[in-house]
Structure 1
Amino acid sequence: MKLERLISITYLLLNNEVVSASELSYKYGVSQRTIYRDIEAICAAGIPVVSYQGVNGGYGIMEEYKMDKSLLGSDDIASLITLLNSTTTIFQDERVQETIQRLKTVQTDSSKTPSLTMDLGSWRSYACLLRTLRSAINAGQLVHFHYINAKEERQDRIVEPVSLVLKYDTWYLYGYCRSRSDYRLFKLTRMSELTALEEVFERKHTVHADNIFSGGVYDHDQTEHAVILFTAGSLAKVLDEFYLDEKQFNENGTLTLTIVQPIDTDWLIQKLLTFGEDAVVLEPPMLRLRIKEKIEKMLDRYGEV
């Protein structure tokens, strides 16, 4: 069939420097005139086919469109395809789909069971939010939204969006906040009524990605040091929630957790309260006091029980 022939010719051109019309004619059992029409159809589909004249002439695909197979190993290609596939569940980006198809043309063994599988589908609940922000980033458009800060205040924010960041299972928007005249990180879960404005900003944002989570960019309080003792009956949950932090397993079955990195204090308090009596903050005193105040307020609400 013609469609199958067109696909086969495209793959053949991707994997070869130059293929003559006579070779294609012989391979597919059609006339050279048919091959010419097939090449025109492939070009019309957006694939940049180049015609080479001379004795060794024929057809090839523009080098800038092809990927050098020697640059990536089979495992690298498979991992890239898996990662890109996982993002398409959210962003529905046709360009990503095209990239996946190109990667598959240099994949040497597509039948091999992938060693990596990813699924970001759990974020579909606000996939529309992610797509709106990414579109604004690509277009250089300002965004406006309402934001709940660490003081529980609901504020209007106008931001020059720079990048979407996924860290510790949480999505953030990194951008230049005009209200604060500085760069900030905004949790997407705290945003509401997001709109992309027509205004396009001129500022050139050159902040390196490695600096996004450095000091001063969070829009909430942080703690950089905490020591928590967990009972033996909560070890699995501790590992699920705090895998990357320093852990010491004690002889009596308990676990001592040490946090030595910036972390949202309110988030940490809320997370520790889910452990109930199975978690005790040893230090710092400020964190112990805040948790005690939280517990006392909770007890006041149930004073008549």
Structure 2
Amino acid sequence: MRSDRLLSIMLLLQTRGQLPASDLADRLEVSVRTIMRDVEALSAAGVPVYTVRGPQGGIALLPGYRTDVTGLTADESRAVLLSGTAHADLGLGQALGSALRKVMAALPAPHRPEADLASRRILIDPVRWRGTPGPDRPAPDLAAFQQAVLADRRLRLRYRHGRDNRVHSYTLDPYGLVNKAGVWYLVADHDGEPRLFRTDRALSATVLTQPARRRDGLELTDVWQALRRRIDDIPAPLAVTARIRNEILAKFLRIHEADLTAPTPTDSPPETEDEPGWTTVELRFRSLLAAEALLAFGPDAEVLTPDDLRQALARKAAATAGLYTPRQDT
């Protein structure tokens, strides 16, 4: 709606200062001509907006034209901005962008830089890695990580690797923190190369006095996207066919969405006459060990193929059942 766009223009100018018309057009997904018409409408309505011609020109508000609200602390301001980062996955990206512009404009001026910095240094990604279970450790202490990220300081990290359980020490240049489906990761450069560290594997984290030496022109989102693609592109060669009881299908799909080879409807799952109450799904895992996570669903999920996975699950189920057989009194 035009009224919402006019408000968005005013709030963008209020929080960002002078902006080129082309920049406003890109942010609001309209043409430059539309932006200029909107600027005329704002001026006619009494908003002190003006244009500056030339290569360094743009659109701006008269100095001092601002709206502040009080009552938000610096921590509350950061929380407001971070609370929105998880909602783009719900198809609310455009509405969220408009809402955050309004929130940023309404924040007390002293808190805006901190809130903006937090929104650029901390990301929420709700989709689980393919074939990877959820967090299996207590939530880590993020105080040192957050301090290094928000204060632009280097970080000394003692870290236990999951692949071989070895401990290494690193001096890192952090870009930010990412919450990936409940697991916190530090995105940082080590010797100028991008790396990813699970915070719950850190044995110690010490903030150093030296400023972070990040590569020029790169933000957390840039480095995170590159690292995420590198991991997502690892092939998953193990094809698995399973049938899932419909009562737990929605829960199963939430956990194994990234492992599906094709979307499966949850509102009216397909059933066959010989298997009423069950839905067949096709999945891919990176290894037999990763696929053994399906055993967590007990009798509500049955692997149909491959046979070696069925046998591995049968052995594990038998070993587990053996732990709970009645003890003989002696």
Bin the TM-score by the shorter chain. Answer: 0.3 to 0.5
TM-score w.r.t. the length of structure 2 is 0.45
Pick the structure with greater CA Rg.
1
TM-score w.r.t. the length of structure 1 is 0.47
With a CA cutoff of 8 Å and minimum separation of 6, indicate the structure with the bigger relative contact order.
2
